[in-house]
Amino acid sequence: MRSRDEASIPRFLDIEDMMNLEQLPYVSLAHLPTPIDELPRLSQELGGPRLLVKRDDQTGLATGGNKIRKLEFLMGEALDQGADMVITAGAAQSNHCRQTAAAAAHVGLGCALVLGGEPTPTPTGNLLLDQLLGAKIYWTGPDRRGERLEEIADQVRADGHQLYVIPYGGSNVVGATGYVLAMQELVKQQLGELRVDRIVFASSSGGTQAGMVVGARATGFGGEIIGVKIDKGEVGDDPYTLRLARLANETAAHVGLDSKFTPDDFLVAEDYLGGGYGVVGELEREAIQLTARLEGLILDPVYTGRAMGGLIDMIRRGLIGSDETVLFWHTGGMPAVFSYVDALV
């Protein structure tokens, strides 16, 4: 873990209201800041708006992705608590689980993954990387959202491990802190002529969106933040925006920001759920192919493909104006492409 006297987190310090950040356990994992690229050919194809992409697929560590920002704080806390192993859960092709396994290997911790589905004789995509990274996998059939995480965590503890439990998607106050600071990073990158009217990205377990909204409030970012919901499944009975507001309030308290959030503070596009989680339809297929062929940019079939499909649809329907500047936040996931050959070609 980086020590405090190494100016370990200088990108935090411009957010004056946040008094707790220097006390939070943290370990450096990500290549930051991630670049912002133009998407001129895609923009031209759609008749505007100006399109940018924030490349969190380039955070490094086992092909990168947005979860690395969360894991800088989650792994920091695991080390601070003296854990020798972490455990988390997700679908068989979970990007979060792959990045957790990589982060654990990088800092010298064991990793257990609770994955929905059944063992496969020929692992591909993220699952192949999970195994290469040394993760111990527990299969749970139809349960892919961490329903059996605590049950299996108890089994791992019984084997004598000092265990640190990371929730589904890394989406608690510790993980969401990474995206509070991601907004600080973006605001710094907006110096000069760059002004972003809207941010569009994939939203699922909620930590990325909650952290972004807290960070936007802290930094004074004035653009809209639109999460494209990619999963029909819900945890509990609460509406998604209510859960986002609850997590945002807890995260704000965690980082020392005196601010309150309600469900009305969250914009969620729920029109693009298609066939459900991980099901590739024409929306995702067109978005992935169009972005690849026009920009050489690879999206994944579960998250960014659906989010880009939603963005393209919003532009075509006139919900986003041709004179706007829109930033698509690429949350990663490229390894999953190799498990969706039949759906993509």
Confirm if 61 and 32 have CB atoms less than 8 A apart. no
CA distances from residue 296 to 91, 292, 299 in whole angstroms, order as listed: 27, 4, 10
CA distances from residue 302 to 146, 195, 321 in whole angstroms, order as listed: 18, 29, 26
Of 49, 315, 297, nearest to 196 by C-alpha is 49
Of 93, 115, 148, nearest to 278 by C-alpha is 93
How many other C-beta atoms can be found within 10 angstroms of the C-beta atom of residue 39?
Answer: 21
Q: How far apart are CA 183 and CA 187, in angstroms?
A: 6
DSSP class of residue 35 equals P
Catalytic residue status for 203: no
DSSP class of residue 117 equals B
Put the strands of the sheet holding 110-115 in their side by side order.
136-139, 110-115, 85-90, 163-165
Of 200, 176, 207, nearest to 311 by C-alpha is 200
Phi then psi dihedrals of residue 296, to 5 deg: 65, 25
End-to-end CA distance of the chain: 43
Q: What distance lies between CA 256 and its chain's CA centroid?
A: 22
Active-site option among 43, 94, 205, 339: 94
Cite the active site residues: 94
